């Protein structure tokens, strides 16, 4: 199957945000991780090493640090999310080539992130990608259920009213593509190395080049 035929039915293009619409070489997420640890230290009274260990365990067991805090400690998500997203966005830079490649896609363009929608808007602005999205969905739109939970995807996709059988999802986290695959979306893993698994249909080491290839081959 050619790249064109793999996507010729797609009418909704769903993109993750962090380390998908910008490369991991831009030090944005390390800032967020550091602020997560600071919040855990202040709220739970543990030291930094313990906070980092908890953060990693919650990501593994619950999908996100926030989900672990909510499920194990009854944390209020609002102050946590406000704290961890209060970061320096100047480490990002606009990417006009990526913007042009995204703009050339036929159909709707949608953001779906485990961050908040206001945070996503700031990232998009810093990348020069504002004003081109039909919807921006944050974790608040999934009732704070995180990817990779099936409930999270079902909640956001129902809210968006997208047809999974006519949609594609782009993600840097391979585990977050399992449910979209099962729901019928075309899945694209974005990152330097292709992750293993039958739930990944395509690999995009360079997102801009991959999107250009889709359009150039006739989508």
- Domains of the chain by start residue, with CATH: 3-24+93-216 (3.40.50.1000), 29-84 (1.10.150.450)
pLDDT digits (tens, 9 = 90+) for 19-32: 999 999 999 989 99
pLDDT score, position 1: 59
Which residues of the chain are under the pLDDT cut of 70? 1, 217-219
pTM above 0.75, yes or no: yes
pLDDT > 90: percent of the chain: 84
In this prediction, residue 219 carries a pLDDT of 45
Peptide bond into 150 cis (omega under 30): no
User: What pLDDT sits at residue 110?
Assistant: 98
pLDDT single digits (tens) 92-140 = 999 999 999 999 999 999 999 999 999 999 999 999 999 999 999 999 9
């Amino acid at each position: 199957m050619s790249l064109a035929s793999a996507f010729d039915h797609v009418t909704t293009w769903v993109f993750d945000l962090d380390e998908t619409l910008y490369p991991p070489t831009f030090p944005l997420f390390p800032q967020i991780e550091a602020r997560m640890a600071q919040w855990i230290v202040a709220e739970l009274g543990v030291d930094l090493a313990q906070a980092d260990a908890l953060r990693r365990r919650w990501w593994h067991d619950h999908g996100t640090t926030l989900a672990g805090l909510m499920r194990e400690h009854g944390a209020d998500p609002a102050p946590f999310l406000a704290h961890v997203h209060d970061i320096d966005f100047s480490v990002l830079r606009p990417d006009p080539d990526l913007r042009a490649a995204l703009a050339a896609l036929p159909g709707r363009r949608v953001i779906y992130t485990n961050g908040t929608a206001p945070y996503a808007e700031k990232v998009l602005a810093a990348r020069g990608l504002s004003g081109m999205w039909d919807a921006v969905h944050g974790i608040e739109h999934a009732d704070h259920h995180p990817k990779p939970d099936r409930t999270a995807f079902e909640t956001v996709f129902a809210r968006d009213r997208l047809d999974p059988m006519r949609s594609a999802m782009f993600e840097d986290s391979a585990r977050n593509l399992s449910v979209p695959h099962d729901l019928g979306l075309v899945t694209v893993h974005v990152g330097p190395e292709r992750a293993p698994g039958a739930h990944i249909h395509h690999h995009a080491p360079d997102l801009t080049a991959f999107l250009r290839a889709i359009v150039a081959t006739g989508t």
